[in-house]
Chains A and B, each alone.
Chain A
Amino acid sequence: MTTNTLGRRTLLGTSAASLLSLRAQAQAATRLRLYWWGGVERAERTNKTSELYMKAHPSITVAGETVGWGDYWTRMATQAAGRNLPDVLQMDYGYIFEYARRGALLPLDAHVGKELDLSGFDAASVDGGRVDGKIYGVSLGLNSTSIVYDRETFNALGLARLSWPVTWEDFAKRMTEATKALKRDGIWGSTDAGGSGPALEVWLRGRGREMYTTEGKFGATAADMADWFAYWAEMRATNACVPPDVQALDKLDVDTSVLTLGKALVGFANSNQLVGYQAVNKKKLDLAMYPAAKTDQKSGQYLKPSQMLSIAATTKNKDEAVKLLSFFVADTEAGKLLGVERGIPASKKVREVIAPSLDAMATRMSSYIAEISDKVSPLPPPPPRGAGEVLTLLLRTNETVGFKRATPAAAGAQFVREATDIISRG
């Protein structure tokens, strides 16, 4: 009994003391919250960069918060609802329009040249963070879509590398050959990318269409979509890609992808993910461009910010938050710590400083971006509200065809109907 009371009192005393010291700290320093998604590697690099900033700015405390991609947007939405968004937050190209147009993000134009240093950025990189003409996000790194494939096994089986340009038709044939050459049950040439939004987008752009028009409408016709679903139905029928029950386990992330699970040699991904994929794959991986519609035209791929930093509109320390953001995207010392883990830095100055210190994987990512930059198309029009839901719809519709619940033609018509409905609802 006595010990209990003592224990409780001590506990109360300690927490009161720590509360007091917290208050003291808060009064002395401006506290900025920084929020990002990613793995352990990214957390280490980001925290080191924050510490460097705090050393140089003793009046600032940077409190880092991080979760995985899967929980990131849920938590962000919840914090937005509580008017409690972190001051500086990592933003994705697919979400920036939703958040900016709902007024959750701070337009940064007034800070450019003052707190925000964009001097080393080319125009295209800056434009990647614009919504309706205003800058809401600043690129943390440049990337593009990319095939990630098991080059070691490709070499061992005597299969030709996937070097640009490979047409979609040719890709299908070569994947069937790959499956044959593997001579093993339970492993196929390609991932089933019929449910992948980025793959569909590149394919559509090869046909001269956009996923979303400049007016924010869904850009493909029922016939386009029917052809797309038919292409993947044919891929499955010819054993070029994994069957639907294998693909259904793929949660579209590095750890559960059929490439990582050893079910396929080829995955559809993003170039900055090479580091992440290689970390969980034993075989030597390489990057290649997505297949093309024709060999004599540009790819539908485009360079985009792999992720951005944005400022919450509700921040109480606008100038300080923008300064921290600027440090992450434009400071050469920060660049050395961050490396190319988030993609190739958009600032030319930073790129030049870090180039000598890159390892093999990082160098390959850089050279990939350099190789493709004259083959890619400009940024597509921004995705409208509801674009995220259309991705879920695509995944499900491809499954419907995969499990033979609908013909490609019926699925194509159904898809366009539902996608149009989703976007009109916003």
Chain B
Amino acid sequence: MAKRRRIPAGYLFLLPWFVGFFGLTLGPALTSLYLSFTNYDLIQSPGWVGLANYVRILTADSKVAESIHVTLLYVVLSVPLKLGSALAIAMILNRGLRGLPLYRALFYLPSLLGASVAIATLWRQVFSGDGLLNRILLLFGIHGPSWVSDPDTAIYTLVALSVWQFGSPMIIFLAGLRQLPRDIYEAAALDGAPPAYQFWRITIPLLTPVIFFNLVVQTIEAFKAFTPAFIISGGTGGPINATLFYTLYLYQEAFGYLRMGYAAALAWLLVIAIAAVTALAFLSARRWVHYEA
């Protein structure tokens, strides 16, 4: 009796979450699914167009292909580089440095700042024609291009910005490294295994659950990246669409050109793509993630 009486109370406590989930997540998501089959322009009432938006996206819109190319390039470059640098820094910090909390905070700082408008603006300054980077290069006699506004290099400045924000995967790696059992390393050292061997044969395999977690989270983040490209290109995705992320294109269609229905369809395809990539990651995880040492 007593137990059963507690159940409604439990739901009562969950109510705020339910309200948030149904009102602010599920409701808008279903609305946008409906809108993706309409020609909604934000001002007039939406009119049903069936699959027309999806058909155009998949067959007739060259900008979709361009933006997918840009986004994939960004994901494929930024995620491994970011995870690599996060792991490297985490390993250095794990050596038992004095003042570890301070370093941890310092390295985490860019992640707190990274998604902000101010940092993207700063980035624009650093990598522009007469920006900080080129002034440093000039000391070595190198005349650098205007990195952010050259279509060949613009995307790499965004990758660099992403890699610079390695803080949150680093913290997670650090926590993972601290839990690795010492005795295995001691045994390996006694058997004469060199550090590189220990890294590849012990650290990495034992760390695979953490690597997997970081990989999934960071990949999803990378697909969703928007602010840096928006700020650095002034919302255009330029030069010549070199930084036209899929999310940025979606935003332009929705709010720039008042094609909210079309943008909703773009958004749902992004959801499907992210879900598919995540599912692939989980499938592949069976082969390379070891949950028990």
Q: B-contacting residues of A (Cβ < 8 Å)?
A: 70, 73-74, 77-78, 80-81, 98-99, 102-104, 186, 244-249, 251, 256, 386, 388-389, 392, 395-396, 399-400, 403, 405
Q: A-contacting residues of B (Cβ < 8 Å)?
A: 41-44, 124, 128-130, 145-146, 148-151, 234-236, 238-241, 252, 255-258, 260
- The answer on a CB contact under 8 Å between B145 and A245 is yes
Complex-state Cα separation, A245 to B145, whole angstroms: 8
Q: Which of B44, B128, B151 contacts A249 (CB 8 A)?
A: B128
| Apart from the given pairs A73-B256, A389-B257, A400-B240, 13 other A-B contacts in the complex at a CB distance below 8 Å | A70-B235, A81-B43, A98-B258, A102-B43, A102-B44, A103-B44, A244-B239, A245-B146, A249-B148, A251-B234, A256-B234, A392-B236, A395-B236
With A80-B43, A246-B146 as contacts: A403 and B130 at CB distance below 8 Å: no
Question: Can you report 5 residue pairs joining A to B where beta carbons are below 8 Å apart?
Answer: A77-B43, A81-B260, A246-B146, A256-B234, A405-B240
- The answer on a CB contact under 8 Å between A103 and B43 is yes
- Residues in chain A near residue B130, CB distance under 8 A: 186
- The answer on a CB contact under 8 Å between A395 and B238 is yes
- Residues in chain A near residue B236, CB distance under 8 A: 392, 395-396
| A79 closest partner in B (C-beta) | B42
- The answer on a CB contact under 8 Å between A248 and B255 is no
- The answer on a CB contact under 8 Å between B146 and A78 is no
8 nearest CB pairs, A to B: A248-B149, A245-B146, A251-B234, A81-B42, A102-B43, A248-B239, A74-B255, A80-B43
Complex-state Cα separation, A163 to B124, whole angstroms: 37
Q: Which of B44, B124, B151, B258 contacts A403 (CB 8 A)?
A: B151
| B255 closest partner in A (C-beta) | A74
- The answer on a CB contact under 8 Å between A405 and B151 is yes
With A81-B260, A396-B241 as contacts: A73 and B235 at CB distance below 8 Å: no
- Residues in chain A near residue B258, CB distance under 8 A: 77, 98
- The answer on a CB contact under 8 Å between A388 and B43 is no
- The answer on a CB contact under 8 Å between A388 and B239 is no
Task: Give chain A nearest CB distance to B38 CB in angstroms.
Answer: 13
- Residues in chain B near residue A386, CB distance under 8 A: 257
Complex-state Cα separation, A395 to B256, whole angstroms: 15
Complex-state Cα separation, A322 to B255, whole angstroms: 28
- Residues in chain A near residue B129, CB distance under 8 A: 186, 245-246, 249
Q: Do most interface residues of chain A lie in helix, strand or loop, or is the interface mixed?
A: helix
- Residues in chain A near residue B151, CB distance under 8 A: 399, 403, 405
- The answer on a CB contact under 8 Å between A396 and B240 is yes
Task: Give chain B nearest CB distance to A261 CB in angstroms.
Answer: 9
Task: Give chain B nearest CB distance to A22 CB in angstroms.
Answer: 25
- Residues in chain B near residue A388, CB distance under 8 A: 256-257
Complex-state Cα separation, A395 to B236, whole angstroms: 9
- The answer on a CB contact under 8 Å between B255 and A78 is yes
A245, A256, A392, most chain B CB atoms within 10 A: A245
Complex-state Cα separation, A361 to B193, whole angstroms: 79
Task: Give chain A nearest CB distance to B121 CB in angstroms.
Answer: 11
| A80 closest partner in B (C-beta) | B43
Task: Give chain B nearest CB distance to A67 CB in angstroms.
Answer: 13
Complex-state Cα separation, A78 to B254, whole angstroms: 10
- Residues in chain B near residue A246, CB distance under 8 A: 129, 146, 149
Complex-state Cα separation, A77 to B254, whole angstroms: 9
Complex-state Cα separation, A182 to B145, whole angstroms: 22
B43, B150, B241, B256, most chain A CB atoms within 10 A: B43
Complex-state Cα separation, A399 to B239, whole angstroms: 7
- Residues in chain B near residue A248, CB distance under 8 A: 146, 149-150, 238-239
- Residues in chain B near residue A244, CB distance under 8 A: 149, 239
| B259 closest partner in A (C-beta) | A425
Complex-state Cα separation, A386 to B260, whole angstroms: 14
- The answer on a CB contact under 8 Å between A102 and B240 is no
- Residues in chain A near residue B145, CB distance under 8 A: 245
- Residues in chain B near residue A74, CB distance under 8 A: 255-256
Q: Which of B128, B239, B240, B255 contacts A77 (CB 8 A)?
A: B255
Task: Give chain A nearest CB distance to B99 CB in angstroms.
Answer: 36
| A256 closest partner in B (C-beta) | B234
A249, A388, A403, A405, most chain B CB atoms within 10 A: A249
Task: Give chain B nearest CB distance to A247 CB in angstroms.
Answer: 8
Complex-state Cα separation, A405 to B255, whole angstroms: 29
- The answer on a CB contact under 8 Å between A249 and B146 is yes
Complex-state Cα separation, A102 to B130, whole angstroms: 45
Complex-state Cα separation, A102 to B39, whole angstroms: 13
Task: Give chain A nearest CB distance to B230 CB in angstroms.
Answer: 10
Task: Give chain A nearest CB distance to B154 CB in angstroms.
Answer: 8
- The answer on a CB contact under 8 Å between A403 and B257 is no
A70, A74, A246, A396, most chain B CB atoms within 10 A: A396
Complex-state Cα separation, A80 to B44, whole angstroms: 9
Complex-state Cα separation, A246 to B241, whole angstroms: 16
Complex-state Cα separation, A326 to B99, whole angstroms: 67
| A389 closest partner in B (C-beta) | B257
| A247 closest partner in B (C-beta) | B149
| B154 closest partner in A (C-beta) | A248
Complex-state Cα separation, A403 to B235, whole angstroms: 20
| A104 closest partner in B (C-beta) | B43
- Residues in chain A near residue B241, CB distance under 8 A: 396
